Structure 1
Amino acid sequence: MNNKKPLEHPRRPAVFFDRDGVLNVDTEYAFEIGKFVWINGAIEAVKAVNDAGYFAFIITNQSGVARGLFEEKDVHLLHQWMASQLAEHGAHIDAFEYCPFHPDGAVERYRFASNRRKPKPGMILDLLNRFPVDASKSFVVGDKPSDVEAARAAGLPGYLFQGGNLRNFLVPLLGQSK
């Protein structure tokens, strides 16, 4: 008879990053690798999250897909490129989540109001269900009120990043010294 309990993954806190305006300069519908510009301190911020033992997640509305400006494959290619850039600095994102839907979309299959589109909390809730996250120590970093609204709707604190060095903004939230 085997009395061993199944292995449980220890719960860890998470940082949920909005993408455009937080990790990269928001150029409106960013999807081209050649036009992507990291925010000052963004790579170092993700590394600080990794080093602190937190999950690092991206939650991003990508209505450009619904608007017919680019395709989902373009979002995936950009996220793969971001992951490779982060890896060169010893950093990583644990999961990239995006919402391609918009109720006013030009592409019919993406034209609806999704619970994953911020300010709805769907992307956050999906990640909380998929990963062993300690929600009591987790938070969202965004650049728009809709990011903070999504955080609150998921029961997490949300912080508005309004520019500057992302690492310097983030590290005090992790409880580390600069």
Structure 2
Amino acid sequence: MTPIKLIILDRDGVINEDSDAFIKSPDEWLPLAGSLDAIARLNQGGYRVVVATNQSGVGRGLFDLECLNRIHRKMYKMVQEAGGTIEAVFFCPDVDETHPYRKPNPGMLVEIGKRLKCDLQGVPVVGDSVRDIRAARAANAWPLLVRTGKGSKTLTREREVCANVPVFDDLSAVADFLIARDS
């Protein structure tokens, strides 16, 4: 497998505002301050940006795949307007916790590695929940936690799981760190 500079981002709580009631429409999808610019800066730093997101709202019947596609088109467009690119969005619509692609299971991340012909060892996976950390570890990737979304609660409630996981205020701080580390 060819080494590439790849970063995998969770969506809700990392790129956009999260909601316990789910993001069910393009109107509800609101980017977090600085997240779109952070993606553009990561791209400029040579990173390929891919999103890996559980979307059980589809499986729960709260919205359909067409709506999810409209949400993602809005995200792609806004990232592009900020000067960045998201290469792909991988998602799992299943509600079943045992589905191999549903985080915390590593299937979605492993599939990203296969599709991009990339070993995930050391690839940063940015999330705001224990699910993201566990999926990254299970895929042999490098989990990073942001305080946005559910991140602050995750850090408080799951200290043991978060041990040895670098913590950042937001995606912008992750971008700053990775770009400085690489230069």
State whether TM-score is above 0.5.
Answer: yes
Residue of structure 1 equivalent to 2:57: 64
Structure 2 gap ranges (5+)? 149-168
Residue of structure 1 equivalent to 2:11: 19
Identify which of 67, 71, 92 aligns with 1:78: 71
Residue of structure 2 equivalent to 1:168: 173
Identify which of 117, 121, 124 aligns with 2:106: 121
Residue of structure 2 equivalent to 1:158: 143
State the TM-score, normalized to the length of structure 2: 0.81
Comparing 147-156 with 161-170, greater Cα deviation is found at 161-170
Give the residue type in structure 1 aligned to 2:140. G
Q: CA deviation at 1:169?
A: 3.2
State the TM-score, normalized to the length of structure 1: 0.83
Contact 1:13 1:134 in 2 (8 A): no
Structure 1 runs (4+) deviating above 6 angstroms are none
**2:83 aligned with 1:90, yes or no?**
yes
Distance 2:180 2:134 in 1: 23
Can you list the C-alpha shifts for 1:13-62, whole angstroms capped at 9, x where unaligned? 21110000110010231131112211111001111221111110111001
Distance 1:148 1:165 in 2: 16
Larger radius of gyration: 1
Q: How many residues align?
A: 161
Q: Percent identity?
A: 32
Structure 1 gap ranges (5+)? 1-8, 104-111
